[in-house]
Amino acid sequence: MDDHFWMGEALAEARAAMALGEVPVGAVVVREGRAVGRGRNLRESERDPTAHAEMLAIREAAGALGGWRLTGCTLYVTMEPCPMCAGAMVQARIDRLVYGVADPKAGAAGTLVDLLRDKRFNHQVEVSAGVRAEECRELLREFFGRLRRDAGAVERARLENG
């Protein structure tokens, strides 16, 4: 199995998040060729600011593997992790990150900051970016486009009904 395949699994999680009205980000933790953790954004559903796809996938992987050290694992995620998620990856000792699309507003794997390769930490994470980027980007475009259209329709109805 390769990066393209596993990013497809992360994209499936992102689509499931979007179906729930969540920002479509999905994540999968893989070790020795099998998924050991999966997650999708659930911040709105759970009313939890930490319910990012990566955090949920890391928690599930730790439970499945019976410990917090996730050495030998690769995290696949559709969008570049934020500082919280990047910090969790360092703390979990994840070996590798593969992400789809950069996050210009919160990216902590090289876009705004690079927490994963900072030599001042006791662990660094190898990073591969841009895997199935256009599919990841299109999912986000579709979601935010729909949000803007829905918000515009609500505003038009409010104005019409004065």
Catalytic center residues: 54
Q: Which segments within 59-101 are labelled E, that is strand? A: 73-79, 96-101
- Residue at token pair 């990216």: 107
* Rounded CA separation 5/15 (Å): 15
* Rounded CA separation 161/100 (Å): 43
* Rounded CA separation 117/39 (Å): 23
Which of 86, 82, 28, 31 has the alpha carbon at shortest distance from 56?
Answer: 28
Angstrom CA distances, 17 to 44, 46, 58, stand at: 10, 12, 17
How many CB atoms sit inside 10 A of residue 118's CB? Answer: 14
